[in-house]
Chain A
Amino acid sequence: MDLNLRHISHRYDDVEVLRDINLDIRRGQIVCIIGPSGCGKSTLLRMIGGLERPTAGEVLQLGVPPADCLNPLTYIFQDFALLPWRTVEGNVSLVLEDHPMDAAARQEIIQDVLARTKLSDFRKAYPRQLSGGMKQRVAIARALAVRPAVLLMDEPLSALDSQTRELLMDDLVDLWEKENYTAAYVTHNLAEAVRLGHKIVVLSRRPGEIRDIVEIDMPLSARTTENTELEAIQKRLWQLMRDEARAADMELVDE
């Protein structure tokens, strides 16, 4: 299943947030969305997932999601969004309970995703007992449980310290190598964007417009640190971003 964003514009009352966004998210591709703070990245992602309606334009699904897919468009949130009163297992179970399946099948899915995210030993733990990185892995397990067609990630690593971020980034890369998931990945971290993105969309400051789209053909497994080609791309992205970020900064002072 592909997604097609057509002429998306949005305003909150008299604040124009997004202006004429046109974008393709193709199957098996990770699309990274970067842009200065407040340019409407999170808003755009909410629209892709159907949590918010754009003022103008539409998000189209091309083709049908695979038959075994329980929730085609699935989020991974920056703040994890785990229910503190449910265990790790219970949090994964939550998103399966509304689908018709017997308890054994549900258990099987839960065991499987927890094993894939290396969380099997923590099945009975409550979120407060887990570190930030572990919580995000639970959120990833929960997202995998519904076999999404597209993963929507809003700064999933931003709440974590930099070492944990590295580790989880590797997990995301490994996972992609195995399953070739489709994703829209919002971040303000350029290193993450060049590490993970097949396509990097640079938004301008508010109102967010597409400034540039950078495609990176290099396979994810070949993208090691200290790669000159990637560094060149990152530098170029930084130049694009810097002017926007600086201008956005100035605007805030005016308001």
Chain B
Amino acid sequence: MSDKTAEKNHEGKPVPFRGGGFLPRPKKIVAPVVFIALIAFWEFGSRSGFISPLVLPAPSEAFDAFLNLVNTGLLWQHLAASLQRLLIGWFSGTLLGIIVGTLIGLFSLARSGLSPLVSAIFPIPKIALLPLFIIWFGIGEGSKVATILFGTFFPTVIATYGGIDNVDRGLIRMGQSFGLTRMSIIRKIILPGALPAILSGARISAAIAIILLVAAEMIAAEYGIGAYILLAGSLMATDQLITGVALLSILGLIFAWIIGRAEKYFLKWR
């Protein structure tokens, strides 16, 4: 059924449309096209002499350097050394961070004792502490892992207790009203409620971990992507340098992808 009087009317013009927009949506093919176009332009510029090889090597040269790295088997040695430091440092830093963040989030004593300390140490660039770590933990793996651990620990603490502070108090009260044990309330209400914040903290700390990894490997490391980049830089081997940087970027992307998967899986209720 429709409004009879409305049907008879044929005058007037359509109402102008002014909604829409402000809703950027990812278009799948755009990114690869931009990427390929940029590399093609770069390659073309290098070959035509428009970009001086001293300033920037051609992508093909960087790729040659990469193949060389693969063929000599050095790639795996560098990657293995870096990944090991990264995973141990990031994992233990995150784990400790979650534990301490939870304590600060739950207990008044921990909060008043630890949170000023965390606020004071958090803004220090951990690279500045690297010489100290070398004295404390030796020039080998210890100082490198410690730097990464330290650097990822603080952002995780802050993300965790911030997340716990933001858990809906109504849900906690609900848990109490049903007589849940303290442990149940923490495990089933508080931690899952803080999980979104913890995961976005993990994203940030992964990026910090990669920065610190390179910094730490630039001091006294035989293998590792940072060491490789440092060596390339001191030899002015810009093709190797670009390769090293590309490896870091890929590492960062893989980390972000893994955390993105974890978010999809753990936060599917959202």
Is the A/B pair a real complex?
A: yes
Interfacial residues, chain A to chain B (CB-CB below 8 A) = 49, 51, 70-71, 73-75, 77, 79, 81, 83-86, 94-95, 97-98, 126-128, 142, 146
Query: In the assembled complex, which residues on chain A have CB atoms less than 8 Å from the CB atom of B168?
Result: 81
Q: Which 9 A-B pairs have the closest CB atoms?
A: A81-B174, A95-B178, A85-B269, A75-B177, A126-B269, A85-B192, A81-B170, A71-B179, A98-B180
Query: In the assembled complex, which residues on chain A have CB atoms less than 8 Å from the CB atom of B193?
Result: 85
Query: In the assembled complex, which residues on chain B have CB atoms less than 8 Å from the CB atom of A70?
Result: 179
Classify the secondary structure of A's interface with B: loop
Contact across chains for A51 and B177 when beta carbons are under 8 A apart: yes
Contact across chains for A94 and B170 when beta carbons are under 8 A apart: no
Instruction: Given the known inter-chain contacts A77-B174, A81-B171, A81-B174, please indicate yes or no for A98 contacting B269, CB distance below 8 A.
Output: no
Contact across chains for A79 and B270 when beta carbons are under 8 A apart: no
Query: In the assembled complex, which residues on chain A have CB atoms less than 8 Å from the CB atom of B171?
Result: 81, 83
Specify which of A74, A83, A97, A128 is in contact with B177 (CB 8 Å cutoff): A74
Q: Which of B181-189, B212-220, B235-243 forms contacts with chain A?
A: B181-189
Query: In the assembled complex, which residues on chain A have CB atoms less than 8 Å from the CB atom of B174?
Result: 75, 77, 81
Is B84 an interface residue when CB atoms closer than 8 A count as contact?
Answer: no
Contact across chains for B270 and A98 when beta carbons are under 8 A apart: no
Is B47 an interface residue when CB atoms closer than 8 A count as contact?
Answer: no
The CA-CA distance from A79 to B168 in the complex, in Å, is: 11
Which residue of B168, B177, B270 has the most chain A CB atoms within 10 A of its CB atom? B177
Can you list 29 A-B contacts (CB < 8 A)?
A49-B177, A70-B179, A71-B177, A71-B178, A74-B177, A75-B174, A75-B177, A75-B178, A77-B174, A79-B170, A81-B170, A81-B173, A81-B174, A83-B171, A83-B189, A84-B269, A85-B192, A85-B269, A86-B269, A94-B188, A95-B178, A97-B188, A98-B179, A98-B180, A98-B184, A126-B269, A128-B269, A128-B270, A146-B178
Which residue of B179, B180, B181, B267 has the most chain A CB atoms within 10 A of its CB atom? B179
Is B249 an interface residue when CB atoms closer than 8 A count as contact?
Answer: no
Q: C-beta contact mask, B193-236 vs A, less than 8 Å → 1, else 0?
A: 10100000000000000000000000000000000000000000
Closest residue to B174 on the A side, CB-wise? A81
Specify which of B176, B179, B188, B267 is in contact with A83 (CB 8 Å cutoff): B188
Contact across chains for A97 and B184 when beta carbons are under 8 A apart: yes
The CA-CA distance from A180 to B193 in the complex, in Å, is: 36
Q: A81-B170, A95-B180, A127-B269 are in contact. List 12 more A-B contacts (CB 8 A).
A: A51-B177, A71-B178, A74-B177, A74-B178, A75-B178, A81-B173, A83-B192, A84-B269, A84-B270, A94-B188, A98-B184, A146-B178
Which residues of B, 147-197, contact A by the 8 Å Cβ criterion?
168, 170-171, 173-181, 184, 188-189, 192-193, 195
Query: In the assembled complex, which residues on chain B have CB atoms less than 8 Å from the CB atom of A127?
Result: 269
Closest residue to A96 on the B side, CB-wise? B178
Please give the distance in Å from B188's CB to the nearest CB on chain A: 6
Interfacial residues, chain B to chain A (CB-CB below 8 A) = 168, 170-171, 173-181, 184, 188-189, 192-193, 195, 267, 269-270
Contact across chains for A98 and B181 when beta carbons are under 8 A apart: yes
Please give the distance in Å from B270's CB to the nearest CB on chain A: 7
Closest residue to B195 on the A side, CB-wise? A85
Query: In the assembled complex, which residues on chain B have CB atoms less than 8 Å from the CB atom of A49?
Result: 177
The CA-CA distance from A84 to B195 in the complex, in Å, is: 12
The CA-CA distance from A79 to B169 in the complex, in Å, is: 12
Query: In the assembled complex, which residues on chain A have CB atoms less than 8 Å from the CB atom of B177?
Result: 49, 51, 71, 73-75
Contact across chains for A51 and B269 when beta carbons are under 8 A apart: no
Query: In the assembled complex, which residues on chain B have CB atoms less than 8 Å from the CB atom of A77?
Result: 170, 174
Query: In the assembled complex, which residues on chain A have CB atoms less than 8 Å from the CB atom of B170?
Result: 77, 79, 81
Query: In the assembled complex, which residues on chain A have CB atoms less than 8 Å from the CB atom of B181?
Result: 98
Closest residue to A72 on the B side, CB-wise? B179
Please give the distance in Å from A6's CB to the nearest CB on chain B: 22
Contact across chains for A51 and B188 when beta carbons are under 8 A apart: no
Query: In the assembled complex, which residues on chain A have CB atoms less than 8 Å from the CB atom of B180?
Result: 94-95, 98
Query: In the assembled complex, which residues on chain A have CB atoms less than 8 Å from the CB atom of B189?
Result: 83
The CA-CA distance from A74 to B176 in the complex, in Å, is: 10
Please give the distance in Å from B82's CB to the nearest CB on chain A: 35
Contact across chains for B176 and A51 when beta carbons are under 8 A apart: yes
Query: In the assembled complex, which residues on chain B have CB atoms less than 8 Å from the CB atom of A146?
Result: 178
Query: In the assembled complex, which residues on chain B have CB atoms less than 8 Å from the CB atom of A71?
Result: 177-179
Please give the distance in Å from A101's CB to the nearest CB on chain B: 14
Please give the distance in Å from B163's CB to the nearest CB on chain A: 13
Query: In the assembled complex, which residues on chain B have CB atoms less than 8 Å from the CB atom of A83?
Result: 171, 188-189, 192
The CA-CA distance from A108 to B188 in the complex, in Å, is: 22
Which residue of B174, B193, B269 has the most chain A CB atoms within 10 A of its CB atom? B174
The CA-CA distance from A81 to B270 in the complex, in Å, is: 16
Please give the distance in Å from A139's CB to the nearest CB on chain B: 9
Please give the distance in Å from B37's CB to the nearest CB on chain A: 41
Closest residue to B175 on the A side, CB-wise? A94
The CA-CA distance from A146 to B267 in the complex, in Å, is: 28
